[in-house]
Structure 1
Amino acid sequence: MLREATGDDVNLMLSWRNQEINRQASKTSHVITADEHARWWAVVRTDPTRRVLVYVRDGVPSGVVTFFDLRVSGPATGSWGFYLDADGLAARGETLPAWLEVMREAVDHAFDDLGLDRLEGEVLGHNAVVRQMNRRFRFVEGTPRTEISDGREITVIPISLDRANRRRR
């Protein structure tokens, strides 16, 4: 289940974002400080082009889905990303089912609730497992580009999924 994030979720979101596996899969790999996170939260909670949702699995908050750059005029488009409570899900033996569920719910939310025609995102080139999962959900990869972030060179691959190509249950 996805629900709107609230101020009560801020510390949980920060702790998940700072888990090593999430930092290495992100463009910014440094440990996010409480002040940096508070500034982000102050901006996103009032920005009409953004949504922050908490993924809840079996009643336990277990991840974050963000939608940003939402445009509703012309073809409705937006970008997205997510991260999970990797440590908590691994301890419960629920990583793969949670990953499948959060992706399914996020794609459904993008097209059914937000009314998007196209959903976009990015994946790091070294993240073969995420790239494979994206293909399973019918995301198409664009042309990779090289960036420098947090002092490291990364390959960023744009991804997209059109409403007509989404996988239906």
Structure 2
Amino acid sequence: MLRTATDGDVDLIRSLRNQQPNRDVSVNSHEITPDEHAGWWAKASVDPSKRILIYERDGVVAGVVTFFDLALDGEPKTGEWGFYLDAEGLAERGETLPAWIAVMKEATSYAFDELGLDDLYGEVLEHNTVVRQMNRRFRFTEGEPQTRTADGREITVLPIHLNKSNRRQPKGN
């Protein structure tokens, strides 16, 4: 289940984002400080072009989904997204893969059915082959690799895209 993040979720969001497995596959890999996170939340939580959602699995917080750069007034309606899971907690419970599949289903449904997007964009690090495979399973296409420097390291980032007409349809549709 996805729900809107609240002020009460702020510390948990930072804690999940700072888990080493999540930092290893993020463009910005440094540990987020409390002050940095508070500044981000103060802006993001009131920005109409963003949605910060909490992913819950069986009533337990299991991840965070963010939508940003939402352009909902024009045609086509577009946005970008990203997510990270409670890598440590899900691994401990043996629920990583089912949670991952579920959050991708719920997030793409939210993007196209709730937000009404026509096109969903994001990015993935080139070395993150497992996520790239899952993205392909969900019919995202990859663009041309881009080399960047972030947090003192050189990384290769692949833009991804999914058009609503190409998405995997939820069962029953």
Give yes or no for TM over 0.5: yes
Q: Which residue of 2 aligns with 1:146?
A: 147
Q: Structure 1 CA distance, aligned partners of 2:63 and 2:88? A: 11
Q: Which residue of 1 aligns with 2:119?
A: 118
Q: Which residue of 2 aligns with 1:16?
A: 16
Deviations 1:43-75 (A, max 9, x none): 101100000000000000110000000001120
Query: How far did residue 22 of structure 1 move?
Result: 0.2
Q: Which residue of 2 aligns with 1:42?
A: 42
Q: Structure 1 CA distance, aligned partners of 2:98 and 2:34? A: 30
Q: Structure 1 CA distance, aligned partners of 2:49 and 2:13? A: 20
The runs of 5 or more residues in structure 1 that have no matched partner are none
**AA partner of residue 25 (structure 2):** A
The residue matched to 1:69 in structure 2 has which SS?
strand
* Matched residues, number: 169
The runs of 5 or more residues in structure 2 that have no matched partner are none
Q: 4+ runs of 1 displaced by more than 4 Å?
A: none
How do 1:1-169 residues align onto structure 2 when only pairs under 5 Å count? Answer: 1-72=1-72, 73-169=74-170
The residue matched to 1:46 in structure 2 has which SS?
coil
The residue matched to 2:39 in structure 1 has which SS?
helix
**AA partner of residue 60 (structure 1):** V
Q: Structure 1 CA distance, aligned partners of 2:48 and 2:15? A: 25
TM-score, normalising length from structure 2? 0.97
For the aligned residue pairs, the C-alpha RMSD in angstroms reads 0.4
Q: Structure 2 CA distance, aligned partners of 1:105 and 1:85? A: 16
**AA partner of residue 29 (structure 1):** S
The residue matched to 1:80 in structure 2 has which SS?
strand
